[in-house]
Chain A
């Protein structure tokens, strides 16, 4: 078998390992979905009445706000899931099994690609749960078939990018607790963007940050696909951010994984 074929089969083997972990311990999937669901319910039922009126839609109130907030909550799922990924990578690295993998003639990066592909599956599952709950509480997307395909494609790219970043940060952290902490800022980013309120309602400094951070184009593109709001240049920005984060995360993670384990 060629090196590329080995890399493929070994990654598939590692993915199966991750999926088994996931099936045996569904808690991680449920936690990744649980946090965003709680936020969704809080924002819709506690704050939604007031926030929705502030948006000034045709009907106003809670019904308008559900449709506004769901894209942000879906992306928040990507962030909480990335934290889960970081924890499971960090845990793996502290176990002897990774040392065993390093002494075997397998495609080196397959340990990491297994994690990334496993997390991708897990995060899409969590997002399905979150979207399901959103539909139950009154979310009414206008997307047609093509838009839904676009939604899935966009989410896959975003999760892929954030997961590579999470893997790199987890390798950098060298401990489970540190890995978990390093990913916490990622969870706040959807809130400091256009996820929960329009950025033009923010003070100038924060608005500048919100407009230029990656989650805002992510959210605006997703919102455009789901709700038919204008997307403008956000799609290109979102794709650019995804490519940048994915490539940077991948190269960084690979470099960290290949460094010698020190004593």
Chain B
């Protein structure tokens, strides 16, 4: 991590955006040092994509001041555009062109000199493990390959600030891991600043120097992954019951975080270490509860929201 005290790569003050009556962002303040990875964490529909679209000049904020790589977002959008790279949530590759042609297209649009453009494409193909597929149309690529090509295209022109909107959503676990490695090396090797959004606490934890949690248009927490995990506590334990009666009596006997009457499950706070598990099992025995199944969960986005807002994710935002 770069802790130089240069100007921040990205700053935002009191950013607001509403669509009609629906307030999507309600006073967002950010300060992201150059050379760091920042993760904006939140459930679907929390406004993460809107924030990326505003910072990357795709849409305008209703109010607020923002600077990206030294340029004012509202007054000098072209200055911002010249300094950033964006990988959106939906694949932004030209499916009819080959991987190589996609990269050359980007090189042309960045007005790279002729020799440079070839070299840049070849280098990125090798780096993103796309050499074998270089001459095939991008529409034939797998999800993971498409994402890699997408990110490679974002890197043409050496942007100083990179936006990644849910870079691993929809990828299989292996592709996700590859993506994580790529993102980390970007920061360590090239010193770029990365602004990423994610629904996964694990992803933010792995990648980010700082995390902010977006909830109903506001940042409800900001800090290092460790700060956040300390606030969140240690995840939860799920108990499943065979019948409604058992479910009900257990709900009365135990300290329950939340209950699901349809799935006949109860969530109980706890880290899943041996001592707290034993204590829980003792209480279950004591109350003669018939538990069908027990699962230990490491902290996830649900736990973050339980801890920070006291409501589960599902109740926060209507699905869109």
B-binding residues in A (CB < 8 A) = 1, 6, 9-10, 13, 16-17, 20-21, 24-25, 95-97, 99-106, 260-263
Contacts and interface: CB of A to CB of B under 8 A. Distances in A.
A1 B111 contact: yes
A96 B82 contact: no
Given A96-B88, A260-B60, A263-B19, A104 B109 contact: yes
Contact of B56 (A6, A17, A25, A103): A103
A242 B164 CA distance: 44
Contact of B82 (A10, A105, A262): A105
Contact of A20 (B57, B59, B97): B97
B306 to A, nearest CB: 28
For the complex of A and B, the 10 pairs showing the least CB-CB separation, nearest first, are A96-B92, A100-B92, A105-B82, A105-B81, A96-B90, A13-B108, A103-B86, A103-B56, A260-B59, A21-B96
Contacts of A261: 58-59
A95 B109 contact: no
B133 to A, nearest CB: 16
16 contacts: A9-B111, A17-B105, A20-B97, A21-B96, A24-B97, A95-B95, A96-B90, A96-B93, A97-B93, A97-B94, A100-B88, A100-B92, A103-B56, A105-B78, A260-B58, A260-B59
B105 A100 contact: no
Given A103-B57, A105-B79, A261-B59, 7 more contacts: A20-B97, A25-B96, A95-B92, A99-B88, A99-B90, A260-B59, A261-B58
Interface of B: 19, 50, 56-60, 78-79, 81-82, 84, 86, 88, 90-97, 101, 105, 108-111, 137, 153
Given A20-B97, A24-B137, A260-B59, A100 B153 contact: yes
A103 B96 contact: no
Contacts of B96: 20-21, 24-25
A96 B90 CA distance: 6
B84 A103 contact: yes
Contact of B58 (A9, A20, A25, A99): A99
Contacts of B60: 260
Which of A24, A96, A261 is most buried by chain B, counting CB atoms within 10 A of its CB?
A96
A231 to B, nearest CB: 42
Contacts of B84: 103
A20 B78 contact: no
A16 B82 CA distance: 22
A14 B101 CA distance: 12
B105 A96 contact: no
Contacts of A95: 92, 94-95
B192 to A, nearest CB: 16
B91 A96 contact: yes
Contact of B109 (A13, A20, A24): A13
A21 B137 CA distance: 11
Contacts of B110: 104
Contacts of B93: 96-97
A174 to B, nearest CB: 16
A21 B101 CA distance: 11
Contacts of A6: 111
Nearest to B50: A263
A97 B92 contact: yes
Which of B50, B92, B96, B137 is most buried by chain A, counting CB atoms within 10 A of its CB?
B96
Contact of B94 (A9, A10, A17, A105): A17
B243 to A, nearest CB: 44
A9 B97 CA distance: 19
A104 B81 contact: yes
Contact of A13 (B50, B58, B86, B105): B105
Contacts of B105: 13, 17
Contacts of B86: 99-100, 103
A21 B95 CA distance: 10
A28 B90 CA distance: 26
A102 B111 contact: no
A105 B110 CA distance: 8
Contacts of B79: 105
